[in-house]
Amino acid sequence: MKKVFGLVLLLAGFSTSVIAEEGKSGLTLNGYLQIENRVRILDSVKSWDETRLALTGEAKPNDSSRVFAELWVKTKLPVVSTLSDISNPGIINPYNLSLREAYADVYGFIFKGLDLRVGRQRIAWGTADNIGPTDSINPKDLEDLWDFGRKIGSDAITLNYYLYDFKLTGVYATNFVPAVLPASGLANYFYSGFAVPAGLVLTGYTTALSLPANDLKENYVAALKLARTLFGIDFSLSYVDGRDGLPVLRRAYVTPVNLMAGMVVVSTELEYPKTHITGFDFSGSLFDIGYWGELAVFSPDKVVTTIDLSALSMLGLSNQEVVAIDDKPYTKYVLGCDYTFPGNVYINLQYLHGFFHERGEDNLEDYVMFNLDWKLFDEKLKLVPLAGAIELKDTADLSNNYAVVYTPEIVYIPVDGMELCLGSRIIYGMDTTLFGKMKDNDEAYLRIKYSF
């Protein structure tokens, strides 16, 4: 912890000198402090407790270059189980330090019209709010399951070339990084498993992940995008040669530990299959109504899962093969709009076909995301009476295949830059749906954020 404080103080000291020198060097430091606590309504268990300090630094030493970095320092709940644990400051007061972004820009790199960005960067493609299927270069950060839009920065080289009204972007990320999955059992919703054959009793389970080989042929993400504005509408075409950030079961070994009792253990191997994504997006405004849309065609490599039952051949069982991911292309898309009514009433609607974890045309579901807020008293108070999502798994049998997530909030802004938010997340739905499986996880939460 001393090291973190030292770093923070160093940055703070750096910022002081920076701000003092602003105007000469163009250096600035910003950030925010966010404290969030959640409690599960069903049993009053604390489900989330985080203090996050985010620091962003930006330097513009001249008109042709820029350096930017974002650093997060987060506290975590201590997990103490033994007497010796309470003598370990790292266990009593755990924290996490992550470099979200750190990159340098060079404008007019080699020749005029060509810009270079190199380093860890968030490459946000697409026009939708948080759920766009074309935003697929950076891996998902699902540590907080309800922050759909959070991504991990990628170590990459980005070139932007401007010619007439066109902008051509090329990206090469030097490493594939898998998505961060939520802690506890919630991670199980985002990768495939399998059921042992009938009559067998599972007594143990281990999992091994197989990452791409660490070479130029396998371990990379490459992408291209062509964009321009026409008749006031922004358009872009994109292509990503990457990998699915969520693992897929490749092989499962079923081994007997007590053949007479049918008791077995299972060891699995998961991999991250190659995926090619061709995308199109647009955004514009008509009569002060903002609108946007994205379409992405996913062309994955085929993955066949092998259930290895060779150790149980004496029971008459043989190996099984199941297609986990077919190589047939499938399409995800999103359409959205927003509008601010007189009286500071804001509404945002998005319709999504295919959530980020869904694969294959027959497995894509439909979702409606909605948000309505009302700012009052010179925007000191914001009421959010309608916000959340509706999941429609099967419209032909909707009564058994739907879920609703409802997240009303009250936000108070006592001073500029500070927000006090009190909210809840109520989930209702069928067990056949993603959100319906989480219906016992209703939460109430308090979030305090101060931006500076």
Predicted pLDDT at 10: 47
**Mean pLDDT computed over every residue of the chain:** 90
Q: How many CB atoms lie within 10 A of CB 337?
A: 16
Instruction: Kindly state the DSSP code that residue 342 receives in the 8-state scheme.
Output: T
Measuring CA to CA, which residue among 137, 149, 133 is closest to residue 352?
Answer: 133
Positions of the chain with pLDDT lower than 50, given as ranges: 1-23
DSSP codes joined into one string, 188-254: GGGS----PPTT-EEEEEEEEEEPPPSSTTTS-EEEEEEEEEETTEEEEEEEEEEE-SS-EEEEEEE
Neighbouring C-alpha atoms within 13 Å toward the C-beta of 77: 11
Nearest C-alpha neighbor of 39 from the set 451, 447, 448, 405:
447
pLDDT at residue number 20: 39
- CA–CA separation, 230 and 165 (whole Å): 9
Q: Tell me the pLDDT tens digit for each residue of 65-99.
A: 999 999 999 987 788 888 888 888 888 888 889 99
Pairing, β 263-271 against β 248-258: antiparallel
The structure tokens listed for 304 are: 């066949």
Q: Are 190 and 142 in contact (CB under 8 A)?
A: yes
Cross-strand bridge partners of residue 275: 242, 300
Query: What is the structure's pLDDT at 11?
Result: 47
Three-class secondary structure assignment of 81-137: CCHHHHHCHHHHCCEEEEEEEEEEEECCCCCCCEEEEEEEECCCCCCCCCCCCCCCC
